């Protein structure tokens, strides 16, 4: 597969956002004509959820769009490994929310990560119950539903978005599906990809030293992190070193990496 143009890769600001919050969105990146084709495919598809990716005509076109491919290349390399995909549906008036969880199983890779692309082919306003995520939770270890006792957490965000939006999430982010208070069926297509290469320096690194990028990383404290917030800071500083591909970069709390010789 050819390399993406540097302008289609995530830039340092977007990558800092991903490292800090655990997700980055490409708002309305998919043209409307393609959104409508996928939406129609979803409405008529009768097969297994996990086969929609393989058995319908238009969904792979979404992930071949240059900016979508560029984001994928930035996160997991240009030839990622398909993990799984699924159609998520919430019917009109569906009242029960999903409980908070991390997907899959505890990931023992120290820094490497899978990415989960959430594609919303139709407008998904707040009341339609788009996915609820907890920014900054992606580096906290949990065992699938071991976080399901929490019902509300300060700083949680529903991913309300315009049609054609793709949100790329770190596999570890705490999230759950939400009730749909509208009279319209809600769809979300999820694609999980694994890296095939070390995820070092895959994005457009031109602005990694921009003060605004460092500010994003330094100031990414979330209201729910409390006394552990400095530890969360250390973990995103470790992830930043990994994705930048430079183990001398130090955006840790009070320069603790340098102080401790890490």
Partner 1 sequence: MPHQRQQLLVLCLAAPDLESSTVAWSLYDGARPVDDLQPQTGDDKTPPYASVLRAMQDGWRVIQVPSLPTYIPGHEHETTHLPYEYILERMVTVDGE
Chain residues binding partner 1 by CB under 8 A are: 95-100, 132, 139-142, 146-147, 149-154, 156, 158, 176, 178-179, 223-228, 231-232, 234-235, 238
CA angle 103, 8, 159 (to 5 degrees): 40
Of 125, 136, 206, 118, the closest CA to residue 161 belongs to 125
Do 191 and 143 touch, CB atoms closer than 8 A? Answer: no
Q: Whole-number minimum distance, CB 132 to partner 1, in Å?
A: 4
Q: Whole-number minimum distance, CB 250 to partner 1, in Å?
A: 14
Q: Whole-number minimum distance, CB 97 to partner 1, in Å?
A: 4
Do 224 and 100 touch, CB atoms closer than 8 A? Answer: no
For partner 1, give the closer residue by CB, 28 or 256. Answer: 256
Q: Whole-number minimum distance, CB 1 to partner 1, in Å?
A: 36
Own/partner contacts of 58-66, CB < 8 Å, gap of 24 or more, are 58/34, 59/119, 59/189, 61/34, 62/30, 62/34, 62/38, 62/119, 62/166, 63/117, 63/191, 65/29, 65/30, 65/34, 66/4, 66/5, 66/8
For partner 1, give the closer residue by CB, 34 or 153. Answer: 153
For partner 1, give the closer residue by CB, 31 or 223. Answer: 223
* DSSP bridge pairs for 90: 186
| Core vs surface per residue 148-170: b (16+ CB within 10 A) or e | eeeeebeebebbbbebbbbbbbb
**Token pair of 162, please?**
């315009």
For partner 1, give the closer residue by CB, 198 or 226. Answer: 226
For partner 1, give the closer residue by CB, 2 or 260. Answer: 260
Q: Whole-number minimum distance, CB 76 to partner 1, in Å?
A: 23
For partner 1, give the closer residue by CB, 60 or 146. Answer: 146
Q: Whole-number minimum distance, CB 17 to partner 1, in Å?
A: 20
């Amino acid at each position: 597969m050819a390399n993406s143009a540097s302008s289609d890769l995530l830039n340092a600001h977007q990558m800092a956002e991903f490292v800090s919050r655990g997700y980055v969105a490409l708002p309305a990146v998919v043209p409307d004509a393609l959104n409508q084709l996928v939406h129609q495919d979803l409405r008529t598809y009768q097969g297994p959820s996990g086969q929609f990716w393989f058995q319908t005509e238009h969904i792979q076109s979404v992930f071949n769009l240059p900016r979508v491919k560029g984001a994928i290349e930035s996160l997991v390399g240009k030839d990622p490994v398909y993990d799984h995909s699924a159609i998520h549906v919430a019917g009109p008036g569906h009242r029960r929310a999903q409980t908070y969880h991390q997907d899959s199983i505890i990931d023992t890779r120290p820094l490497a990560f899978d990415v989960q692309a959430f594609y919303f082919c139709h407008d998904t306003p707040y009341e339609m119950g788009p996915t609820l995520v907890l920014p900054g939770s992606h580096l906290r270890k949990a065992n699938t539903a071991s976080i399901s006792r929490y019902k509300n957490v300060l700083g949680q965000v529903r991913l309300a978005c315009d049609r054609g939006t793709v949100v790329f999430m770190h596999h570890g982010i705490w999230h759950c599906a939400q009730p749909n208070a509208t009279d319209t069926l809600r769809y979300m297509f999820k694609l999980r990809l694994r890296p095939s290469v070390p995820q070092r320096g895959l994005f457009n690194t031109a602005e990694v030293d921009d003060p605004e990028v460092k500010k994003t990383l330094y100031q990414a404290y979330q209201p729910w992190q409390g006394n552990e917030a400095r530890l969360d800071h250390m973990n995103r500083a470790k992830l930043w070193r990994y994705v930048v591909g430079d183990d001398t970069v130090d955006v840790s709390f009070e320069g603790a990496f340098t102080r401790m010789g890490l």
